[in-house]
Structure 1
Amino acid sequence: MTQSLVRTKEKAFFEEHGYLVVRGAYDPEQLEELSAEYLSIWLGLLASGEIVQHPDRPLESLYPNRLRDFHRGNEKIVKFMLEPRVIATLEELIGEEPVAVQSSYYYKPPGTRGLGYHQDNYHIGVWPDTSYAVWVSLDPADEENGSLLFVPGTQKLDLVSAEVLPGSCNAYSSEILCVPEGYEPVQIRTTPGDVVIFNGNMYHGSTRNKTAYRYRRSFVTHFAGASLEKVTLNYGYLVDKHGERVRRKLNSSPKIIEMQQSIFTYKDTSLYDQYIQRN
């Protein structure tokens, strides 16, 4: 049986704070193989015209905010995503077998914006319980190039109504505007191969990449416990730890609906209703 990378002390920290940094969970060779696979995908998108560079946003347009769900049909990405040591660790932390909900590869090139505070399960819509993120650091990440921000303890709060802000730095234009009274944010640092696991109700975000030349690449998989009963539309392609497809019901009352797959655009639920009426 594959051993978890955490012990009682780390599990207690996760339960109290809502996140945990697991150092050196992936080997350099694994990171190189994953990055090479996404380079091939990126070149294909560039050649097909799906990615188009804009002179006013040269890096941001050339390297889209994220590439979503390219693990589907890709054995190399699935193998990375379902690394047994990481799955065993997540299973230890959440108390049940996890199933993968979706994957994302982030570039965060120099000069790009941060991400406002949000809760992942606001749009993923796992019910009951919540989603869990496994965030893999592919580059060194710190305050200068936009590392992760957490508000420890907020994983124990319910999902809150986020304010819709057109042009927001948040990927889906809805963000939590303030930290609750009595809570203090923390910003973490990671090195390549480190994994950050965090609860889907946790308030989290990231800061702007202020550097002139450093990227902050990462690979993120959102999971849920296998006991989940419902999940939001476009998050219904669930994969168990053996790489087999599993199915659950559709959550018909989500906060956010995602409209696009690989290079993403989020729409708030009210806007989704208008979209359905028009199409």
Structure 2
Amino acid sequence: MIEGLRTISEEHKQQFEKEGYLIMKGVFCREEIAEIEETFMEMSKKPIPGCFEPIIDEQSENDDPLKRYPRMMQPHRVNDVAMKYMLHPKVMAILADLYGEEALAAQSMFYFKPPRSRGQALHQDNFYLKVEPGTCIAAWTAVDRADEENGTLLVVPKTNNDDIYCPELADEKESFTKHFVKVPKGLKAVPAILEEGDVLFFNGNLIHGSYRNKSKDRFRRSFICHYAGESTTKIGHYYSPLYRQNGSKVEPETNSDSGPCGNEFDALYPH
């Protein structure tokens, strides 16, 4: 716990451990969300090699909105505001309670998800991050209200204690990524409804994904970061170095193998 900062109750921790996810309301104030929104919308005006590589022409955007607004990968490596919010004290304090130890930041992303854009098939994050021992935790911050109409995240409760599944191929007409993990028998995916400033924390083994944005004029923007615990000894090479809250680097052993499912399913980018 960090003195004076919001952390979780015992009930919150029990829910996270039982269900695999936790919604914390109002973690960020309107001014903070406005700073995140303004920063990433400004960054989206031009390509950033290795981070944001859109196709900026009207025809491409009409064909597929995600060509103009693809997800932004690792913006903390090129932008101080992204780094600031990835290491935000409120988020790091909650993560420390969830892990029972200091959290280390591994990845930042920004999703624009404009109207009509495809969703992302159900998957598990630690298939990609390969955190050892244990698993990663995601912090999914809603920059806009996220609901069923504009394609909010779907989570499958109680899959957090499952092993990593070998994925099947997703329907490319509905998912912009290629991997798909089936919902286990007897369980179902449920929508996580968030207001701007809310943060959804979820376990790296939890099955989750999203449907298409069915709205005509609403983005579903989100700032998403992944973390590992301080006791992590190994992580996928794409995610190193890790960062402590004070900005200092941690460089655990990295692995570049394809994980448990073979080379045909090796990939770097969750979510």
TM-score (norm 2): 0.89
**Residue 237 of structure 1, CA deviation:** 2.4
Contact 2:234–2:255 (8 Å) recurs in 1:
yes
| Residue deviations 1:212-236 (CA, integer Å, cap 9, x gap) | 0011000000001011111112111
User: Counterpart of 1:255 in structure 2: which amino acid?
Assistant: G
Matched residue count: 260
Q: Does 1:3 align with 2:9?
A: no
Please, which runs of 5 or more residues in structure 2 have no aligned partner?
Answer: none
- 1:148-227 paired onto structure 2 within 5 Å: 148-165=153-170, 167=172, 169-176=174-181, 178-227=182-231
Change (3 A) 1:125 1:213: same
Change (3 A) 1:40 1:256: farther
For 1:94, the equivalent position in structure 2 comes to 99
For 1:112, the equivalent position in structure 2 comes to 117
Change (3 A) 1:181 1:32: same
**Residue 244 of structure 1, CA deviation:** 1.3
| Stretch moving more, 248-257 or 214-223 | 248-257
Which of 66, 72, 75 is matched with 1:60 structurally? 66
- SS for the counterpart of 1:136 is strand
Q: Does 1:51 align with 2:57?
A: no
**Residue 208 of structure 1, CA deviation:** 1.2
TM-score (norm 1): 0.86
**Residue 252 of structure 1, CA deviation:** 3.6
For 1:81, the equivalent position in structure 2 comes to 86
**Residue 74 of structure 1, CA deviation:** 2.3
CA distance in 1, matches of 2:203, 2:159: 9
| Residue deviations 1:70-93 (CA, integer Å, cap 9, x gap) | 111422221112111111111111
- SS for the counterpart of 1:116 is strand
TM-align CA RMSD: 2.4
Change (3 A) 1:149 1:247: same
- SS for the counterpart of 2:121 is strand
Change (3 A) 1:158 1:58: closer
For 1:141, the equivalent position in structure 2 comes to 146
**Residue 50 of structure 1, CA deviation:** 4.2
Q: Does 1:253 align with 2:257?
A: yes
Q: Does 1:35 align with 2:40?
A: no
User: Counterpart of 1:45 in structure 2: which amino acid?
Assistant: P
Contact 2:118–2:173 (8 Å) recurs in 1:
no
| Residue deviations 1:185-236 (CA, integer Å, cap 9, x gap) | 2112100000000000000011211010011000000001011111112111
Identity, % of aligned positions: 36
For 1:123, the equivalent position in structure 2 comes to 128
Change (3 A) 1:116 1:69: same
Change (3 A) 1:50 1:207: closer
CA distance in 1, matches of 2:89, 2:221: 22
CA distance in 2, matches of 1:139, 1:55: 21
Change (3 A) 1:57 1:144: same
- 1:233-252 paired onto structure 2 within 5 Å: 233-252=237-256
CA distance in 2, matches of 1:251, 1:83: 28
CA distance in 1, matches of 2:173, 2:128: 16
**Residue 99 of structure 1, CA deviation:** 0.5
Q: Does 1:13 align with 2:15?
A: yes
Please, which runs of 5 or more residues in structure 1 have no aligned partner?
Answer: 258-267, 274-279
CA distance in 1, matches of 2:259, 2:177: 11
Contact 2:12–2:22 (8 Å) recurs in 1:
yes
Contact 1:71–1:103 (8 Å) recurs in 2:
yes
CA distance in 1, matches of 2:241, 2:28: 25
CA distance in 1, matches of 2:265, 2:120: 21
